């Protein structure tokens, strides 16, 4: 496959990329249309508001309970899977996870990977790592395949190619897939993609997949999908490697039932997806297909930082439905690529600082109007707006301040001048006498207010204090202050 080389984008370039995205009417139209569509589909799946709220309570309780017992559940999952013949690996960061997967391939003399959808593998840039070592890693989810051909990363965690029009995809297929005619007929395009990938399932040495949920009590990896590429990936090659963020385990298999209902309805507005694929081990004696070797890579990669803090731990409740981005006014206007992170949108803004550090991601938490839509739709009730405010605080905190759970990159946006202004402000407002003096000075010296006020005056008139304060006006009306 002669895909374009992957373009790497940094979250530090967020402002420039957001501006470029806002200037692209085609992109904005794509996202506006897609988000409206997904919002409507979700709405039709939850006609009963009470049922939704009860289910959200359950979803939140299941996830919070699992997180509270996370170390024990991971050990239980490992024990169960090991007993069933699955090899469990622990990876502290992306480099370790990549090395583990590479070593499994080398041990099996394998060079050809076929990959089901996995955001964790995007997070560790696995394709790039393997390709640099002479191996191929072909994406088999249709959306992922499209962005791989284009040399891009997914712009949405559920629908990776949502930013592309069918004309874009027609062009990509005609350019990259041998004998593919140019057509904008979606059925024909999907059949072209199917033909291009079908042989790859047969030829692949290793199938790599993500994991939606893992049940500690039965040692089951629960995979959710519509296309069947995930089932082919985990059934046809001789070796299956699953990779999952270590927070995805829950205590019991039956706890996954309400979570799947929340996931599929919130994500794509489906009552259920076409396939739930429950894997509890490699092929057993007498079975004629299924992988002979199954591996699970448990990935930390910064998650334990979020875990350490009582408030930020809620980040890890996420079930990756994407509803927060589908309902986010900022995401809808700038699209997923502007963020420069594996996870875009509201969930990306609260998880990426742990994966990449605050220094690289400090601008992301500011890209929110705090309208609260993300928190309102979150099926497991992650308080995303509160977490955004908290991350803004941490990014502006003095890097030398000692706190119980310091975040990597604490104080990335700290400014001594700004911090002094705030200190002056709170001092002025804390005592009646100083407040009166400040008020007097602000109204009398209002003409000295600077004309340029950072970002505010880019699109708005400068703020100046009123000639008379509210208190003065009230006094003039003969009321008590």
Partner 1 sequence: MSAILTARERMLGRLRAAAPAAPEAVGAIDTAIDQHYLARRAAAPLPARDRIAAMQAALRASHAEVYCISSEAWPALLAQRLGEHGVRRLLLDTGSAEGQALRAALPAEVETLSFARPLAQWKSELFDTVDAGFTIARSGIAATGTLVIAPDAATPRTVSLAPPLHICLVSASTLHMDLHAAARAERWADGMPANLVLVSGPSKTSDIQQTLAYGAHGPRWLWVLIIDDLSAHEGGQP
Of 167 and 371, nearer to partner 1 (C-beta) is: 167
Of 11 and 193, nearer to partner 1 (C-beta) is: 193
Residues numbered 300 to 329 that lie near partner 1 (CB under 8 A) are 300, 304, 307-309, 313
* Residue 85, token pair as written in the block: 């013949």
Please report whether residue 194 would count as binding partner 1 according to CB under 8 A: yes
Length of the chain: 481
**Alpha-carbon gap, residue 464 to 442, rounded angstroms:** 9
Residues numbered 339 to 358 that lie near partner 1 (CB under 8 A) are none
From the CB of residue 79, how many other CB atoms can be counted at a distance below 10 Å?
13
Of 37 and 435, nearer to partner 1 (C-beta) is: 37
H or E element in which residue 172 lies: helix 166-176
Which residue matches tokens 């790039």? 128
Please report whether residue 260 would count as binding partner 1 according to CB under 8 A: yes
Question: Which are the contacts of 240, defined by CB distance < 8 A and separation ≥ 6?
Answer: 206, 207, 208, 209, 233, 234, 279, 282, 291, 293, 294, 295
Residues numbered 377 to 416 that lie near partner 1 (CB under 8 A) are none
From the list 83, 272, 403, 445, which residue makes contact with partner 1 (rule: CB under 8 A)? 272
Of 280 and 368, nearer to partner 1 (C-beta) is: 280
Distance of closest approach, residue 199 Cβ to partner 1, in angstroms: 8
Bridge partners for 224 per DSSP: 276
* Residue 373, token pair as written in the block: 């839509």
Distance of closest approach, residue 59 Cβ to partner 1, in angstroms: 10
CB 81 within 8 A of CB 241: no
Residues numbered 36 to 65 that lie near partner 1 (CB under 8 A) are 37-38, 51, 54-55, 57-58, 61-62, 64-65
Please report whether residue 254 would count as binding partner 1 according to CB under 8 A: yes
Region of 105-113, 181-189, 357-365, 391-399 interacting with partner 1 (CB under 8 A): 181-189
Question: Binding pattern to partner 1, positions 103-142, x when CB under 8 A?
Answer: -------------------------------------xxx
From the CB of residue 314, how many other CB atoms can be counted at a distance below 10 Å?
23
**Alpha-carbon gap, residue 256 to 249, rounded angstroms:** 10
* Residue 204, token pair as written in the block: 């692949």
Distance of closest approach, residue 429 Cβ to partner 1, in angstroms: 36
Question: Which are the contacts of 130, defined by CB distance < 8 A and separation ≥ 6?
Answer: 98, 101, 102, 105, 113, 136, 137
Question: Which are the contacts of 431, defined by CB distance < 8 A and separation ≥ 6?
Answer: none
Of 275 and 435, nearer to partner 1 (C-beta) is: 275
Of 33 and 450, nearer to partner 1 (C-beta) is: 33
CB 120 within 8 A of CB 221: no
The crossing angle, in degrees rounded to 10, of helices 166-176 and 142-149 is 70
From the list 209, 220, 317, 368, which residue makes contact with partner 1 (rule: CB under 8 A)? 220
Question: Binding pattern to partner 1, positions 71-110, x when CB under 8 A?
Answer: x--xx--------x-----xxx---x--------------
């Amino acid at each position: 496959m002669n895909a374009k080389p992957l373009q790497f984008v940094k979250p530090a370039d967020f402002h420039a990329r957001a501006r470029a995205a806002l200037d692209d009417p085609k992109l904005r139209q794509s996202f506006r249309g897609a988000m409206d569509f997904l919002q409507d589909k979700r709405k039709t799946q939850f006609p009963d508001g009470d049922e939704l709220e009860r289910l959200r309570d359950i979803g939140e309780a299941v996830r919070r309970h699992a997180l509270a017992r996370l170390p024990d559940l991971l050990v239980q999952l490992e024990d169960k899977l090991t007993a069933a013949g699955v090899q469990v690996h622990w990876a502290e960061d992306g480099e370790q996870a990549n090395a583990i997967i590479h070593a499994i391939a080398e041990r099996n003399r394998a060079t050809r990977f076929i990959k089901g959808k996995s955001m964790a593998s995007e997070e560790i840039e696995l394709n790039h790592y393997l390709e640099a070592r002479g191996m191929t890693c072909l994406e088999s989810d249709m959306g992922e395949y499209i962005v791989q051909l284009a040399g891009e990363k997914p712009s949405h965690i559920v629908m990776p190619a949502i930013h592309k029009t069918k004309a874009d995809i027609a062009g990509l297929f005609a350019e990259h897939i041998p004998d593919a005619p140019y057509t904008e007929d979606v059925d024909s395009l999907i059949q072209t993609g199917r033909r291009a990938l079908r042989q790859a399932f047969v030829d692949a040495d290793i199938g790599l997949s993500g994991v939606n949920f893992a049940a500690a009590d039965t040692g089951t990896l629960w995979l959710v999908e519509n296309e069947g590429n995930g089932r082919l990936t985990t059934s046809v090659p001789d070796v299956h490697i699953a990779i999952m963020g270590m927070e995805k385990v829950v205590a019991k298999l039956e706890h996954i039932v309400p979570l799947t209902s929340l996931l599929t309805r919130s994500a794509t507005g489906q009552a259920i997806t076409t396939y739930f694929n429950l894997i509890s081990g490699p092929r057993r004696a007498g079975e004629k297909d299924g992988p002979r070797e199954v591996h699970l890579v448990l990935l930390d990669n910064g998650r334990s930082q979020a875990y350490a803090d009582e408030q930020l731990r809620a980040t890890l409740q996420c079930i990756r439905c994407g509803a927060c981005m589908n309902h986010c006014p900022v995401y809808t206007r700038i699209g997923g690529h502007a963020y420069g992170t594996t996870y875009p949108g509201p969930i990306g803004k609260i998880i990426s600082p742990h994966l990449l550090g605050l220094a690289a991601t400090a601008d992301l938490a500011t890209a929110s109007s705090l309208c609260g839509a993300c928190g309102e739709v979150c099926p497991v009730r992650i308080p995303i707006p509160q977490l955004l405010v908290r991350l803004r605080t941490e990014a502006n905190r003095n890097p030398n301040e000692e706190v119980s759970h310091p975040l990597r990159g604490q104080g990335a946006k700290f400014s001594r001048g700004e911090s002094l202004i705030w200190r002056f402000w709170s001092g002025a407002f804390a005592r009646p006498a100083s407040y009166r003096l400040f008020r007097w000075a602000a109204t009398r010296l209002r003409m000295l207010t600077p004309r340029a006020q950072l970002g505010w005056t880019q699109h708005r008139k400068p703020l100046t204090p009123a000639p008379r304060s509210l208190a003065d006006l009230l006094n003039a009306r003969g009321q008590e202050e």
